[in-house]
Amino acid sequence: MNFSKYRKDFPVLDKVVYLDNAATSLKPRQVIEAMDYYYKECPVNIHRGVYRLSQEASAVYEECHERLARFFNCSPREVILTGNSTDALNMLMYMLYNSNYFKKGDEILTTVYEHHSNLVPWQFLCQKLGLKLKFVEITRDYNFDLDDFKKKVTPRTKLVTFAHISNTIATIAPVKEIVDFLKGRGILVCVDGSQSAPHKKIDFKKLRVDFFVCTAHKMLGPTGVGVLVARGKLLENLSPVRFGGDMIAHVSLEKATWNDLPSKFEAGTPNISGAFGTIAAIDYLERLGMDSIAYNDKKLLEYALDKLNLEGVTIYNPKNPKMQGSIVLFDMEGINSRELSTLLGDYSNIATRAGMHCAEPIISRFNKEGLVRASFYFYNTKHDIDLLAKALKEIHKKF
């Protein structure tokens, strides 16, 4: 599929070579227009009024749950709208905490390459409850070490949580093999899909996990909208973590009862304009086709890995493009990552990300001063990669 014709929907591409998609994707004009419609035509609260505008906004907010449910193949009652992936993971942590799921000595297993949002909440919980946090290592070629994972699962393991695709080394976790190994052990499984949901078809039922989180702003949608997908039977028994309007069924001065799913976990006025924008983003992605996006990503990645195999440049990704997402993590000898990223922007107007990437444990293992990340999406082109390679050659020659 030729995606170049869609670049016109992203006017900022006339101003910058945008290679920071792992941080956030660009927003097409259709998403911006959908959010503008809310603020111009029905800028009211939901689930409160019986007048027409409130009913219209309420219907769109509920439709957002339904559209996301179809997109991820789950029930609308299993879709909780949050602020972002970080918010969703924090909510999950507090759900388990408030529900007394863990007891002292239990174990949580994650990986050494997690984003801080899938690390720090579990550090906090372990310190709070006396749990043990364990880490799956990577192999020499930056892949998920399945053998190490199997060794570290014990009878005390209660939760396994990991990134579907790493936001740094871009490792794709072997979800099927992980779930198969854990079958029948009564261990909860959470997948952080922040980097996978924008790039590949996600089928929650086929994943066979308990929780899946992602964020709209990395998949063409607005900031301030995250998604926590969870098995309905689990949500029925888990405690809410935010209390107030809309999450209650009945309230007296002495007690309250909770609303039905997913409202039970969505207290207060939500990001209503974000729901309008998220629907438009899903429309856009479905029109392109997630399989087409995934195929195009792989072609761009293969091209990038070839073009960026340059003198003075070290790449920190799996050697097999089939084993990684559309991210190239690298550094250049003799130059700080932030300086390198700044030079790419100043000389060639190329937007990359530099530093620790909210994953300091894994990045500092390779370079204490950080690394540069170039990340691609369907609206990027081979020409973008050519410009990056040319700029890196010039910088290396000069410095």
- The predicted-structure confidence for 159-205, as pLDDT tens digits, reads as follows 999 999 999 999 999 999 999 999 999 999 999 999 999 999 999 99
Whole-model pTM?
A: 0.97
* Contact present, 329 and 373 (Cβ < 8 Å): yes
- The predicted-structure confidence for 297-325, as pLDDT tens digits, reads as follows 999 999 999 999 999 999 999 988 889 99
How is the beta sheet containing 327-332 ordered, strand by strand?
Answer: 313-315, 327-332, 371-375, 353-355
Measured CA to CA, the distance from residue 148 to residue 139 in angstroms comes to 9
Both structure tokens of 226: 């995250």
pLDDT of residue 347: 86
Measured CA to CA, the distance from residue 153 to residue 61 in angstroms comes to 40
How many residues appear in the chain?
399
- Which residues are identified as catalytic? 358
pLDDT of residue 383: 97
Q: Which CATH class is domain 4-20+289-398?
A: alpha beta
* Bond from prior residue into 262 cis (ω within 30 degrees of 0): yes
What does the mean pLDDT of the chain come to?
Answer: 97
Q: Which CATH number fits domain 30-286: 3.40.630.30, 3.40.640.10, 3.40.50.720, 3.30.930.10?
A: 3.40.640.10
Instruction: Single out the residue of 282, 294, 150, 158 nearest to residue 221, CA to CA.
Output: 282
Q: How far is CA 207 from the centre of its chain?
A: 16
Instruction: Single out the residue of 1, 2, 3 nearest to residue 220, CA to CA.
Output: 3
* Contact present, 97 and 128 (Cβ < 8 Å): yes
Instruction: For the chain, give every domain's residue range.
Output: 4-20+289-398, 30-286
Instruction: Single out the residue of 136, 214, 218 nearest to residue 178, CA to CA.
Output: 136
